[in-house]
A and B are shown apart, each in its own frame.
Chain A
């Protein structure tokens, strides 16, 4: 049974339909990449999973339970954490407070205590008492990933974590994702950087104008197939 599944997922912004019947599945311990051009519906897909956009309950399933109509706070408590696009750290909180807020209201131990987050991202430990607004872009992204991880999620959703960062920083972040996966957390990455997406993922879904245009294992997909699915021409 898939750990996280979408069945005919649709999403709307008012009258505008952003997703048209998306079917995806994430197996336990797997990393799945969602690729596609701007406006393809990738971020909407993640927002629909975490409850920021709510739809029919049966459109999203987690661990055998329908969660499509659940509010974001409830989805998060069930074990799904999102690293949002643009990092969106809390500016009035320090780095450590940003990490601690990730496990608000929960005290049960898990695989990602604060020390382990600092071991994964040593740069954060040195800046733990700094205002989050003083971090570099890469450090902010590390803090955003750490904030999501500290809740000990079973599924980590990452939205465009490479956006606006230097190649060396992107490589480090994706290496961290491999460590997160190795620790047993399932991962969904939404990414425009196809090279990185292929490097870390077990399966790929390509979105185009709100529809899933291609899916498969990275080794099985040809460059032409991806080009066609990505751009439509």
Chain B
């Protein structure tokens, strides 16, 4: 029983990481209906940025992430403004092709710069710290911080979306691009701010990815898959749904691993497909199309 309880708790905490992977994807898709196939590679790129900042400035990964956040925001803004905006409004295929190309460029660029060696963000004693829940179950501090960060990120994103003028502009642009322009909304700039925000979330996700496991330039596509599954299970356009989706995929994986270690990844995909069969629009859909 304790093993199953432990698996469940681990799954919920892992879900926090998947929700962080997915929140940026959900943000971009929700506003501009752009499916970013480079999202997984961007997470890995952000992890390498944090790694490099930590090495250059001789600071821990948390401080390095804080330093990297404005850099990544500007990088996201520039990427959207200079490249991705040009691919929008021309049908479904151009954004897919452009982001697919971007994914290949990022992966190969990282291989050139950092080689294929596995890396890790070293956070010191916090990596092995845990909090006891009763006498037989304990949870790691980093996984707990991951879930807490995912909740904070989603709270902040919801605040921006539903309590600020910028959020109104995000929603208006997503609702009706043509009419939003008549409100004086400069939509290329709004899209760029959204991608900048998504890059901030990606960088936070990268911090916890790098502290929990090894990473190398080739693992981006798998992170993209988990992010997609979390977004689709939760329902397109809903941040809380994305958190729920991440937790469902995470719990499915840890429970699957508990049954048989080889089933971990498979169990997540089976949970995803099962939910798709019964709820094709996800559990908490918000987007209309």
Residues of A within 8 A of B (CB): 50-52, 71-73, 76-77, 81-82, 84, 88, 90-93, 97, 100-102, 104-106, 147-148, 151
Contact = CB atoms under 8 A, between A and B. Distances in A.
Contact of B165 (A77, A82, A104): A104
Contacts of A71: 181
Contact of A84 (B171, B179, B185): B179
Contacts of A97: 168, 171
A106 B179 contact: no
Contacts of A51: 181
Contact of A105 (B174, B181, B184, B187): B184
B172 interface: yes
B171 A93 contact: yes
B169 interface: yes
B93 interface: no
A52 B165 contact: no
Interface of B: 165, 168-169, 171-172, 174-176, 178-187, 288
Given A90-B176, A91-B175, A93-B175, A52 B168 contact: no
B33 to A, nearest CB: 14
A81 B176 contact: no
B172 A93 contact: yes
B184 A106 contact: yes
Given A101-B183, A151-B183, 13 more contacts: A71-B181, A73-B187, A82-B182, A90-B172, A90-B175, A90-B180, A91-B175, A92-B172, A92-B175, A93-B168, A101-B185, A104-B183, A151-B184
**Top 10 closest pairs, chain A to chain B, by CB:** A72-B181, A90-B175, A76-B184, A90-B172, A92-B171, A88-B179, A73-B186, A101-B168, A73-B184, A101-B172
A106 B186 CA distance: 13
A97 B169 CA distance: 10
20 contacts: A71-B181, A72-B181, A73-B184, A73-B186, A76-B181, A76-B183, A77-B184, A82-B182, A88-B179, A90-B172, A90-B179, A92-B172, A92-B175, A93-B171, A97-B171, A102-B183, A104-B165, A104-B168, A104-B172, A147-B183
Nearest to A52: B178
Considering residues A72, A77, A84, A91, which has the most beta carbons from chain B within 10 angstroms of its beta carbon?
A: A72
Contacts of B184: 73, 76-77, 104-106, 151
A148 B176 CA distance: 15
Nearest to B237: A92
Contact of A72 (B168, B169, B171, B182): B182
B157 to A, nearest CB: 15
Contacts of B171: 90, 92-93, 97
Contacts of B175: 90-93
